Every structure is written in C-alpha cells, then in structure tokens.
Amino acid sequence: MTTMESLIGLVNRIQMACTVLGDYGGADNSTFSSLWEALPSVAVVGGQSSGKSSVLESIVGRDFLPRGSGIVTRRPLVLQLHKLESGAQEYAEFLHLPRRKFTDFALVRQEIQDETDRVTGKTKQISPIPIHLSIYSPYVVNLTLIDLPGLTKVAVEGQPESIVQEIESMVRSYVEKPNCIILAISPANQDIATSDAIKLAREVDPTGERTFGVLTKLDLMDKGTNALDVLEGRSYRLQHPWVGIVNRSQADINRNVDMIVARRKEREYFATSSDYRHLSNKMGSEYLAKLLSQHLESVIRARIPSITSLINKTIEELESEMDHLGRPIALDAGAQLYTILELCRAFERIFKEHLDGGRPGGDRIYNVFDNQLPAALRKLPFDRHLSLQNVRKVVSEADGYQPHLIAPEQGYRRLIEGALGYFRGPAEASVDAVNFVLKELVRKSIAETQELKRFPTFQAELAAAANEALERFREESKKTTLRLVDMESSYLTVDFFRRLPQEVEKSGTPAAASNIDRYAEGHFRRIASNVSSYIGLVADTLRNTIPKAVVYCQVRQAKQSLLNHFYTQIGKKEGKQLLQMLDEDPALMERRQQCAKRLELYKAARDEIDSVSWVR
C-alpha cells in the first residue's frame, strides 16, 4: 500500500469515527463536525435512473446496491471503502449493525432495502437519515462515497407533491458542503442541457473545481450519434475531464452478469468503439475510480495541516473528557481495593473540610450550641413547675403538711428531679440536630467528591455506611448527654440541704408569720426560689457540658472514625464483591468506551499523518 493510499484510508477511518460520534453526541461536537467538514467525501448526484447506483457499484467493483427503475434509493447511503491487503477476506459492515460482518453482498443489498423501509415505511417516501455502510476489500480504493436519491421533476403515485423539493434540498445539503466532491451523473441518451445533475452542480460549485462529470448509458445512444461533444468538454466545460461509462443494462442485471465481466465488457466497449477508441484510457469505471482517488489525494495533501491541527484539538478534547469520565477500573482485586480506599479518602477529605470550616456547613453545628440549645433551655416551663400551687402540692405529697419543716428534703428532691427531667428534651434535641447537620454534610460531601460521580452504587454504599456510623454516634451521644442531666440530680448532698435553712433564715421573715397560711405561702415561695436558683445553675452547667458531650461523641468521632467500620467490612470482601461496589453507571461506561476507542483512532491517525508528511 502506498503512503497516500494509507492516508486516504486513514481519512476514511476518521470520518468513520466522526460518524459514530454523531450518534454519540458526547462532548462538544463542533470540532468533530469541523473535522468531518475538513475531510473530503464524494457524492453522486443525478436524475432518477441516470445510473448513480450503478456507477457507485462499478467503482466498488461489487453488486450490493438496490437498483432499478423508479425511486429505488430513498435514503442517503454513506459508503466507506477501506482497502485491505491483497488476499484478505472481503466483507461489509453497517453502522446500525455494528457486530455483523456481511460476506454475501446480496444480503447487503437486502439490508439496505430493509433499513430503508424501516425508516420510510414500505412507501415511496424518502428520508434524509443516512445509512452508513463500510466495505472492506482488497479490490477497492479508499474512498467515502455517498449515494443519494435521484432528482425528479414529478411526484409519482403514493408520493406527496412536496417530494420533488424535498429530494432536491436533501441532495443539496450534501453537495453544497465545500468538502463534497460531486459526481454529476447524466445519461448520454438525454440532452446534457436538461441534466439535473449539471444544473445543481453548477449552482453549488460554479467554478467546477469539485465537480466530476460522468456520462452513463453511452451504449444506449441512438445509432449514428455519439457523446464526443460532451466527453471532450465542448458542450459543457468542467475543470475536470468528463468520464464516459457503460454500466450493466437492466437485462444484464436480470441475467446476473458478474461485475468482473461487466468491467471487462466496458473496457472492450471503449477499446473497440470507433467513436471513443482514442479516449479509451480515460474512460470507464476503473478510470473514474482512479481519477477520484487521485483527486482526493491532492485535496487531502492540501488539507493535511488543518486536518492535523483538528486531530490534535480533538485528541485534547477527548483526553479531557476521559479525565472527566475517569480512567477504567483495574481488573485485579488489589487495585480495586486501592481504588475504593482512594474514593473513601477523597470523600473523607471533603467531609473534614466541611467540619473544619474549609467548606461551608460545619458552622451549623455551632449554631445548635449557640442558639438552639440556649433558646430551648430558656423555654423550659419552670414557671409552671415551680408555681406556688405545684410546689405546695409536691411538697405536701412528699413530706405531708409540715409547715414547721423548714427544709422538706423529699419535696425538694422531687421538685428538683421533676425539673431536671425537663432538661432531657433540649439535650436530646441538640444530639438530633447535630446528627442532622452531620448527615447533611455527608450527603453534600458525597455530591462534591468528583471521583465518586461515576460510581452510583458505591456512592449509595458509602452514604449508608456513613449514616450508620452517625447513627451509632448519635446513640452514644444521647446516652452521654442524658447521663450528664441525670448526674445533676445525684448531687443533692446532705450539705446542700444543710445550707438551705441558713439561707432561709437570712432572707426569711419567720417573726412576722402570725398568720399560718401567709407563713406557708412564704415558705413555699422560698422553696420555689431555692429550687429555681439551683435549676438555673444546672441550666448554666448543661449549656456548657451538653455541647462538649455532643462534640466529643458525634463531631470528633465523625472526623476520626466515620468510616472505620466500613473499612473493616471492605477488608473482608472478595474481588467480585469489590467489583460490584465499583459498578458504574452503564451510560457512563459506554461513553468511556466510545471515547477510548475514538481516542485510539485519532492517535493512530496523528501518527500516520506524521509519517506520511515525513515521506513526502
């Protein structure tokens, strides 16, 4: 294979990659489409039954296209020819059937028909959605060819009136692209002045630099006439020479005349024709194929710099997309375990940053201590608990009606214990509030850990493990804070009660208590006030100790050992389970695969282009 052949082959493969990309719609497609635009392709244009599909077939040297009268080609067919080393097995592949190799070309034709019908229905409708077909063969030149529906002047039965216009704009959308080389097909048995192909080609390529005039059906011209005026460029001048063709007639097709035979017959036709003998080495399908491939070569050569830079840009884009998607997961358990631990560490780093103030959210814990807890403590219903009525009731029930008893110990104990019971609420609420904040931070941190994005399963497991740990810390914290509250009631020592009467004597007015009820009222008031000041002290203490307990049991633990339990569990897992944990989003896996494949291709392309550029 010459370097140029391989270069055109390479261009073909790049176009192929671009085509797949069209489906894939991943990263920014602008580079890809401009790359596609930079690479040449060849489209056949002409009226219905002018011989477009036949010309394509003889260039390829294979029967594989549906042909016949009427509108046979109803969707664009993007045909990529890939030259194989001689002796290699010939086969075809459709983009829509990626894993199926066709070696029987009759089946290829059938599939084109079926695939056309799949989109258009079995009507005479057309569709602009192309069918992509690749042919790998030692007998082809590297080329991308596009077969298009024939231009027509009238809608036939079953077709909407708009079809004439629709076909024209579809064809135009292909041939107006500056990278499109136009094979303008006109049948020799019609006046060239009426050729739809030439008319359209002239519109989109006025200078004719990318138009090749092809004259088919030379064998069907009336006896005594010839096409020399056209073929020698006198009727209609094009920059490139006209090529005359003799394809198989419908009768040949019906008789299954072999392509090789047809080519030989075509050669013989020109060699023996008295009209065209002098042009015979510049006529025929084989010559057309060579001409096209030479032209492509020069076009590609001119475009190498821009193609190279586009390829480099594409590689860059793909590399960055790969980074974004994450590299593929290793296959051995050790590496998987390593990946998992790395993921955990990445998450922990972010989680800690939240707690340490490097990221927002951790401050909400302090809001619990600075505002929520004090407010809850202030709201406790001690007024009601220490109302004269309640104090009288509690004390009377505990100690009996003993107005002489200056310090009714049981009454005090019950009042204090009752009051302390109220502290349990705010204590538990602080624990729960901090737990809530921590859970939120876990959720946020998981979402912020880029590395985790591709592993939805692992994200869920990590979240579950972290929340489970937080739940354990919460239980522990609750036990500890409630114990703090309970401890305050155990501190009612003998000394505490011994001190009480003195305080009463200091502030009390027993001398004025002539009236027993008024004395009792003052007595209970004093009790209430004593209890109240004790409760006040307790509230002050708890306002300080509850946060300490909560931070110790929950925040500090979360920072130090949130995933400890999880790590032990992971350590026990087998390779298969690890792989399951690293289960990726299938869409993402697909994307990475596509991306990797393309990257490989573009890199190969870059290397090949480099080598070709050196050779010249």
Q: Which does 195 bind (CB under 5 to 8 A by kind): ligand GDP, Mg ion, none?
A: none
40 binds, among Mg ion, ligand GDP, none (CB under 5 to 8 A by kind): none
73 is an interface residue for Mg ion by CB under 5 A:
yes
* Cβ count near 470 (within 10 Å): 22
What is each CA distance from 562 to 347, 364, 470, 473, in whole angstroms?
11, 19, 7, 9
> Does residue 336 touch Mg ion according to CB under 5 A?
no
For residue 82, the cross-strand partners are 136
In the stretch 115-144, what mask flags binding to ligand GDP with x, by CB under 6 A?
A: ------------------------------
Q: Among residues 68, 121, 358, 400, which is the contact residue for ligand GDP, using CB under 6 A?
A: 68
* Residue 125 vs 247, nearer CB to ligand GDP: 247
Burial of 54 (0-12, 13-18, 19+ CB in 10 A): buried
Give me the helix-helix angle, 409-448 and 516-550, nearest 10°: 30
Number of residues that bind Mg ion (CB under 5 A): 4
Helical spans, DSSP H, in 357-408: 363-367, 373-378, 382-385, 388-399
* Count of residues touching ligand GDP (by CB under 6 A): 24
Name the segment binding ligand GDP (CB under 6 A); options: 50-58, 158-166, 524-532, 539-547: 50-58
Residue 272: count other Cβ atoms within 10 Å of its Cβ. Answer: 10
CA of 129: how far to CAs of 126, 138, 141, 368, 609, in Å?
Answer: 9, 29, 26, 62, 31
3-class DSSP assignment, residue 43: strand
Specify the residue, 19 or 49, whose C-beta has the smaller distance to ligand GDP.
49
The 145-164 site mask, x for binding ligand GDP (CB under 6 A), equals -----x--------------
Taking the complex as a whole, how short is the minimal distance between the CB of residue 173 and ligand GDP, in angstroms? 18
| 253 scored as a contact of ligand GDP (CB under 6 A) | yes
| Token pair recorded at residue 192 | 């060239």
Type of residue found at 452: L
Nearest to ligand GDP of 147, 608 (CB atom): 147
Q: Which stretch binds Mg ion (CB under 5 A): 73-81, 224-232, 412-420, 588-596?
A: 73-81
Report in angstroms how near the CB of residue 51 gets to ligand GDP at its nearest. 3
For Mg ion, give the closer residue by CB, 72 or 170.
72
Contact window for ligand GDP (CB under 6 A) among 217-225, 349-357, 428-436, 532-540:
217-225
> Cβ of residue 249: shortest distance to ligand GDP, in angstroms?
3
- Which among 100, 129, 103 is positioned nearest to 22, based on CA atoms? 129
Element (H, E) at 529: helix 516-550
Which of 19, 31, 41, 53 is in the footprint of ligand GDP by CB under 6 A?
53
* Residue nearer to ligand GDP on the CB measure, 56 or 355: 56
CB of 68 to Mg ion, least distance (A): 8
User: Which of Mg ion, ligand GDP, none is residue 272 near (CB under 5 to 8 Å by kind)?
Assistant: none
**Residue 399 interacts with ligand GDP (CB under 6 A): yes or no:** no
Q: Which of 15, 31, 41, 54 binds ligand GDP (CB under 6 A)?
A: 54
Q: Encoding tokens for residue 304?
A: 């190498």
CB closer to ligand GDP out of 286 and 503: 286
Closest approach of Mg ion to the CB of residue 250, in Å:
13
Q: Which residues pair with 489 in a beta bridge?
A: none
67 interacts with ligand GDP by CB under 6 A: yes
Per CB under 5 A, contacts with Mg ion among 6-65 are 52-53
Q: Does 225 bind ligand GDP (CB under 6 A)?
A: no
Instruction: Answer whether 412's CB lies under 8 Å from 531's CB.
Output: yes
Q: For Mg ion, which is the closer residue by CB, 66 or 508?
A: 66
- Count CB neighbours of 389 within 10 A: 10
- Give the footprint of ligand GDP on residues 73-92 (CB under 6 A): 73
Under the binding rule (CB under 6 A), the answer on residue 246 touching ligand GDP is yes
Measured from the CB atom, is 125 or 339 closer to Mg ion?
Answer: 125
For every residue of 350-369, which 3-state class applies, written as one string? HHHHHHHCCCCCCHHHHHHH
Instruction: Collect all residues with Cβ–Cβ distance below 8 Å to 42 and sequence separation of at least 6.
Output: 143, 144, 145, 146, 180, 181, 182, 183, 292, 296
What is the distance between the alpha carbons of residues 414 and 386, in angstroms, rounded to a whole number? Answer: 11
Asked if 97 contacts 43 with a C-beta cutoff of 8 angstroms, the reply is no
- Please pick, from the candidates 5, 37, 219, 297, the single residue that binds ligand GDP as defined by CB under 6 A: 219
Between 75 and 592, CB nearer to Mg ion: 75
Q: Which of 75, 248, 454, 474 binds ligand GDP (CB under 6 A)?
A: 248
DSSP string, 428-491: HHHHHHHHHHHHHHHHHHHHH-GGGTT-HHHHHHHHHHHHHHHHHHHHHHHHHHHHHHHHHHHT
Q: Which residues contact 189 (CB under 8 A, 6 or more apart)?
A: 217, 220, 221, 222
Contact criterion met (CB below 8 Å) for 135 and 79: yes
Between 182 and 246, name the residue whose CB sits nearer to ligand GDP: 246
Per-residue string for binding with ligand GDP, 197-216, x by CB under 6 A?
Answer: -------------------x
**Please, which residue, 47 or 61, has the CB nearer to Mg ion?**
47
Reading the block at residue 87, the tokens are 């002796």
557 binds, among Mg ion, ligand GDP, none (CB under 5 to 8 A by kind): none
Find out whether 145 and 99 touch, Cβ atoms under 8 Å: no
Tracing tokens 């990726």 back to the chain, one arrives at: 584
Nearer of residues 77 and 140 to Mg ion, judged by Cβ:
77
106 versus 447: smaller Cβ distance to Mg ion: 106
Name the site residues for Mg ion (rule: CB under 5 A).
52-53, 72-73
Name the site residues for ligand GDP (rule: CB under 6 A).
46, 48-54, 67-68, 72-73, 150, 216-217, 219-220, 245-250, 253
